[in-house]
Amino acid sequence: MSLRALPHADPGVPDVRSGPRLLLWLERRQWRGQLAAGLWGLLHLASLAALPVAVGRAVQAVADRSTGALAAAAGWLVVTGAVAAVADTMLQRAAVTNWITAATRLQQLLSRKAAELGTVLGRRVAAGEVATVSTNDVEKIGWFVETTARFSSALAAVTGVAVTMAVTQPEMAWIVAVGCPLMTLSSLPLLPYATRRADVQRARAGRATVLVSDTVAGLRVLRGIGGEELFLRRYRHASQEVRGAAVHSARMWALIAAVQVVLPGLFLTAVVWRGARLALDGSMPVGELIACYGFAAFLVTPLRSFEEMAMAWSFSRPSARRAARLLAMRRQSEPAAPGYDVLPDGDLFDPVTGTLAPAGLLTAVVCGDPDAAGRLADRLGGHDPVARAAGEPPALLAGVPLDALRLDDARTAVLVQDKETTLLSGTLAELLDVPRSGAVTARRALEAAQCADVLEALRKSLPAPRRDLPGPRDDPMAAAVTERGRSLSGGQRQRLALARSLVADPGVLVLDEPTSAVDSHTEARIADGLRELRKGRTTVVLTSSPLLLDRADRVVYLAGATAVAAGTHRELLRTEPAYRAAVGRTADERPRRTAGERELEEPA
Amino acid sequence: MRGVRPPHDDPAASRRATSLPVASPAAVRRHIGTLLRRHRREFALLVAVNAVAVGASMAGPFLLGRTVGSVAAGREVDLAPTVGLFLAAVAVQGLFTWQVRLRGAVLGERMLAELREEFLVRAVGLPPEVLEGAGTGELLSRVTTDVDRLSGAMREAVPQLVISVMWAGLLLGGLAVTSPVFALVTLLVLPLLLVACRWYFRLAPGAYRSETAGYADVCGTLAESIDAGRTIEAHRLGSRRVARSDGRLRVWTGWQRYTMWLRTVFFLAVHATHTLILTLVLLIGGWLTLRGRLTVGELTTGALLVQMLVNPVDMILRWYADLQVAQVSLARLIGVHEIEAGQGPGGLAPRGREMAAERVRFGYTPGRDVLHEVSLRIRPGTRVALVGPSGAGKSTLGRLLAGIHTPRTGEVTLGGARLAEMPAERIREHVVAVSQEHHLFVGTLRDNLLLARPAAADDALWDALHAVGAADWARALPGGLDTELGAGGLTPVPARAQQIALARLVLADPHTLVLDEATSLLDPQAARELERSLAAVLEGRTVVAIAHRLNTARDADLVAVVEDGRITEYGGHDRLIARGGTYAALWRSWHGR
């Protein structure tokens, strides 16, 4: 598999029955890469093992005073070195490619799952958990996949060297037989403790990071009102806890490092002791003694892979379990499409509240309870999991229950812009590039939503023109909107979101408090623009702003969760005292000035 | 093999732009020097212990060389002392390795803790103006990403580099002791490696940064898709998000291809150098031995030491890139130290409570003023509402009055003293600004309130909550004041967060307040109730309120209409209505008349 072929055209259907099954599925999907890494790894280890032999031969040649043999040994050395170089490089390439291939596949599966689940995902798992899987777990799973190939080649190499040593020097056999397993297994009992301590350390570090980033995020508040010392104290405490945990964890790793020095050292000593005895007896040439020493020193390298494998397994298992659980989630009860090929077009009606939005008109809904308003907005879009769970009947569009349509069709027919709608990062052009009818241009939508100042702010944010880059450099459509539109003010964000909904130009548009963060001047202009742009289309606005209500064809007033009155804004103001109170008219009847304020004089 | 070019799309490019200072290499070196001096005893001990551990690891080749030499010479050897020395060396190496790792961690962790705590101390001391200008995002990335990178490097790269540099040095020393020729050969071939290093380390850090940034983009895109799940579903953007994720993956794998190519070339060069050194040592050493200039034992020792040299050199090369990354992170962290912490000498104190802006001009970017010659005088105890269209400069004027920004020309004074010359801590004893940007800190509800007045008793906290209409729901919380808020705990809706922000204001109790859309997230009725109860508590305080709901303006004593960076109308509600200007027109349209 070449990196050039990534991302995968189709990441496949994972086996998500359990964590280990997911790991196995990933391994099987890229067995060719695994095989290549394994073979290169074997060749690399073989060449590493051959190096001491060459060195031994060279010393032997000198001891035998043979120039020719010395030259031959040097040649042997060069060839071995070259093979080792190529094999090691190719092993790195193959192993990293395996890692990336697995990580890419998982990331692709995650993004597809997120798109499939949509709203449901956020309801069922915390956003943080998905983030953990994508940033943390994918890496660990990739590590495991990468390590398996190294492990298999190390296993083969250790077996090979041990057998060779045992066969060529039978007297060494028992040292090898005892030494190898001992070295492999020695630090394994310590590893669980070490990883547990490392987990504690990570958890504490995570908490400290949450604290510090939270403090920094709220720094403007802190600097404005005080409390810095309080937060510094909290952070110092957390930071010292991290230090304690890190040192605690380092104690165990230091011990493991010592064991990893002592045991191979003892093994080496045993080999030298035994070998020297044989050499002194004359039954072993010095060259072979050096080779034996080299072999024994070499064994440390593949034995480390055993340990790495043990660690990768212990780290990746929980990660794989989390990933499998996430990938196993489904969107429930997608209804079978009963063959509505043409999207229904007509009045929108919510049976729960009795709210009716006649086709082609601008209907405003006033609802005292903001929660009930949000619920109404959700229901008007259909396919609302909360409503379904509560057993509420779905909204009807031209008499057709929206839930009976395919999800995609329902979303095409009715677009609900919720109260806290999110701007996606990218250029302004990308932001406004949503599926649309084509009847409304981005320019018209931006004008209707009164985005002139947003465009100006974005134009200013563009980098200075560069001669080496083509194209006009003062086009705000090319300016970047940061994640969630954080670089813009609340009102600017709201107007851009409105422009995006207007560009989509759906048959029915439901807007929940679309101008709550916009000043009155602008709100009045938006109300006019909205009316003009949506002429002949069905629009529902949930609002309590008189500026919007006054421009609606029809206003529905909800008391609690029931529509109790409908008419124009002025009619309702006249006839419904409760409505008048809800839209903020009571102030008119109240005496305004308090005693203390009368002595103030106004400037000339 | 053809070379791989770096991809066009560089995800690290946008991150390179920074609005906060980055320390110069000299400043970084000075800082490291200070850190080391502060811990010089621990550091010296660490180096000594490490030297012993490394020295003990070299006993093997020497002992084996001696044995081989004796065997080759046909001398009788007593193995017991050799084996004894071998064992002693192993024991020493084990013991000292353990100590090096442990002491290294203790020292490293202490220095890390100092660095991150110092950084936060500096960060919370930054003038509000800097925070407004740079935004907290940049600071946030430094305190998370850069601290993480630095921690990773301090835990692994720095100790490994210290160990391996000493190891390589001692091995070269050992070679020189065995035979100067060996050391000479090694030093002659090393320049070959240096050429490869120069090439690699010139390109690698940037490439790895881009690769890391590319991966962060992959994760970030997914995180955004989940965060914006509702919007994506409503606008049917699912397949576009998948395509976007795949696009990010393509960029990331592109950078992986490039770094892989860099490593391929570099690895081959490193291997070639190793082989060349080993071969030359054996050939030249062998020739010298044949001529009788060296013994077989010395040749063996030399060959084994050269073989050992592979390990520290590999380690140095492997960790050097991490060290480069850590250096960049350190420069970003201590760069914040270069910002002047205070504004002026701070000896100034206001005499009185009158707030005034005198012919103030101000702009965020040079040559583009947002406010033009604005003058405003606010008597103590007055409630002033600023109204006007978006982008007219209302919030900017509010920030100038709260001392967050300093006017370009003209001055803002409180009780006759210029705000520009007072530190933030002094200003906020008198003036506090609350904006629509609310923030609840991770911690208990009590913590979230106490920051405004650390010594406040619970009764005072409840009174403040009552004043902002939050007492009822706060009482209903499972733990009352001890309820954990934020990550992992309870996350109140924005409207409640805004109430808490206002409760802090009540606790802080300044005589002058700037409220910038401070109730915009509450529904209109609740907002007005809150404003009224707040008004009762804040009786006699000076209030500057920026609000888009005209009810607020109507309840104020004076209304200032801000249009295009100027105050065009200023007066009481009734007078402005009577005048029939912008405000009157706006009021009529708000009333639908």
Over residues B441-485, the pLDDT tens digits come to 888 899 889 888 888 899 999 999 988 888 888 888 888 888 888
Segment B543-547 shows an average pLDDT of 87
- Determine, for residues B299 and A7 on separate chains, whether the beta-carbon distance falls below 8 Å: no
Choosing among B52, B146, B249, B305, which should be mutated to test the A contact, i.e. which has the most A CBs within 10 A? B249
Nearest CA in chain A to B233: A118
B237-253: per-residue pLDDT in tens?
989 999 999 999 999 99
Q: Which chain B residues touch A259 with a CB distance below 8 Å?
A: 94
**Phi, psi at residue B358, to the nearest 5°?**
-120, 110
Q: Point out the domain boundary residue: B284, B313, B338.
A: B338
In whole angstroms, what is the distance from residue A368 CA to residue A353 CA?
A: 13
Distances (CA, A) of B440 to B119, B143, B175, B433, B445: 22, 19, 63, 16, 9
A121/B contact by beta carbon, under 8 A: yes
Segment B149-173 shows an average pLDDT of 85
Q: Quick one: which of A545, A548, A555 has its CA closest to A528?
A: A548
Structural domain that includes position B104: 22-338
> How many independent structural domains does chain A possess?
2
Q: Which of A182-191, B109-118, B165-174, B453-462 comes out lowest in average pLDDT?
A: A182-191
Q: Point out the domain boundary residue: B338, B364, B379.
A: B338
**CA A58 centroid distance within chain:** 56
Query: How many contacts does A have with B, using Cβ atoms within 8 A?
Result: 506
A427 and A548 in one domain? yes
Q: Which chain A residues touch B20 with a CB distance below 8 Å?
A: none
The per-residue pLDDT for A25 is 94
Chain A nearest CA to B272, separation (Å): 7
B311 and B238 in one domain? yes
Sequential DSSP letters for B359-408: EEEE-SBTTB-SEEEEEEEE-TT-EEEEE--TTSSHHHHHHHHTTSS--S
**Cα-only R_g, chain A:** 36
B218 and B108 in one domain? yes
B437 and B541 in one domain? yes
The per-residue pLDDT for A337 is 56
The per-residue pLDDT for A341 is 67
- Determine, for residues B432 and A584 on separate chains, whether the beta-carbon distance falls below 8 Å: no
Q: Which chain B residues touch A520 with a CB distance below 8 Å?
A: 387, 548-550, 586, 589-590
Handedness of CA A426, A427, A431, A436 (dihedral sign): negative
Q: Would you say residue B407 lies in a domain? A: yes
| CATH code of residue A444 | 3.40.50.300
- Determine, for residues A602 and B390 on separate chains, whether the beta-carbon distance falls below 8 Å: no
In whole angstroms, what is the distance from residue A447 CA to residue A577 CA?
A: 36
Chain B nearest CA to A167, separation (Å): 23
| CATH code of residue A89 | 1.20.1560.10
Q: Quick one: which of B525, B461, B468 has its CA closest to B498?
A: B468
Segment B551-576 shows an average pLDDT of 88
A397 and A261 in one domain? no
A186 and A299 in one domain? yes
Exposure of B108 by Cβ count < 10 A (0-12 exposed, 13-18 middle, 19+ buried)?
buried
Q: Which of A488-502, B61-75, B269-283, B523-537 comes out lowest in average pLDDT?
A: B523-537
pLDDT band at B399 (very low <50, low <70, confident <90, very high): confident
B359 and B328 in one domain? no
Q: Which chain B residues touch A262 with a CB distance below 8 Å?
A: 90-91, 93-94
A369 and A256 in one domain? no
- Determine, for residues B434 and A266 on separate chains, whether the beta-carbon distance falls below 8 Å: no
**Mean pLDDT, each 10-residue run in order, chain A (604 residues):** 82 90 92 93 89 86 88 91 92 92 93 85 69 80 90 88 79 80 80 84 83 80 82 91 92 89 87 83 80 79 80 83 88 60 84 90 86 85 84 87 85 87 85 88 90 82 57 73 72 90 92 83 88 92 88 90 88 87 54 35 36
Structure tokens at B576: 């402005």
Choosing among A2, A44, A100, A212, which should be mutated to test the B contact, i.e. which has the most B CBs within 10 A? A212
| Helix, strand, coil content of chain B in percent (nearest 5) | 65, 10, 25
By Cβ distance, the residue of A107, A255, A266 closest to B222 is A107
B193 and B260 in one domain? yes
Residues counted in chain B:
593
Q: Would you say residue B46 lies in a domain? A: yes
A179 and A129 in one domain? yes
The per-residue pLDDT for B305 is 87
User: Residue A481 forms beta bridges with which residues?
Assistant: A426
Instruction: Report the alpha-carbon angle B155-B158-B161, nearest 5.
Output: 130
Q: Which chain A residues touch B137 with a CB distance below 8 Å?
A: 486
- Determine, for residues B223 and A130 on separate chains, whether the beta-carbon distance falls below 8 Å: yes
B456-494: burial string, b at 16+ Cβ within 10 Å, e else: beeebbbbbbbbbbbbeebeeeeeebebbbbeeeeebeb
By Cβ distance, the residue of B245, B303, B389 closest to A107 is B245
Q: List, as ranges, residues 378-407 from A with C-beta within 8 Å of B.
A: 381
B398 and B275 in one domain? no
In whole angstroms, what is the distance from residue B503 CA to residue B446 CA?
A: 11
> How many independent structural domains does chain B possess?
2
Q: Which chain B residues touch A127 with a CB distance below 8 Å?
A: 223, 226-227
Q: Which of A76-85, A545-554, B62-71, B226-235 comes out lowest in average pLDDT?
A: B62-71
B240 and B159 in one domain? yes
Segment B494-503 shows an average pLDDT of 82
Which residues are CB-contacts of B547 (< 8 A; sequence separation ≥ 6)? B385, B387, B515, B517, B519, B520, B553
In whole angstroms, what is the distance from residue A177 CA to residue A172 CA?
A: 9
Exposure of A371 by Cβ count < 10 A (0-12 exposed, 13-18 middle, 19+ buried)?
exposed
Omega cis (within 30) before A11:
no
| Helices (runs of H) and strands (runs of E) counted in chain B | 22, 12
DSSP A518: S
A331/B contact by beta carbon, under 8 A: no
Structural domain that includes position A242: 10-327
The per-residue pLDDT for B95 is 94
pLDDT band at B136 (very low <50, low <70, confident <90, very high): low
**Residue A526 Ramachandran class (φ > 0 left, ψ -120 to 50 alpha, else beta):** alpha
Q: Which chain A residues touch B584 with a CB distance below 8 Å?
A: none
- B574 versus B157: the higher-pLDDT residue is B574
Predicted complex: ipTM over 0.90: no
| CATH code of residue B265 | 1.20.1560.10
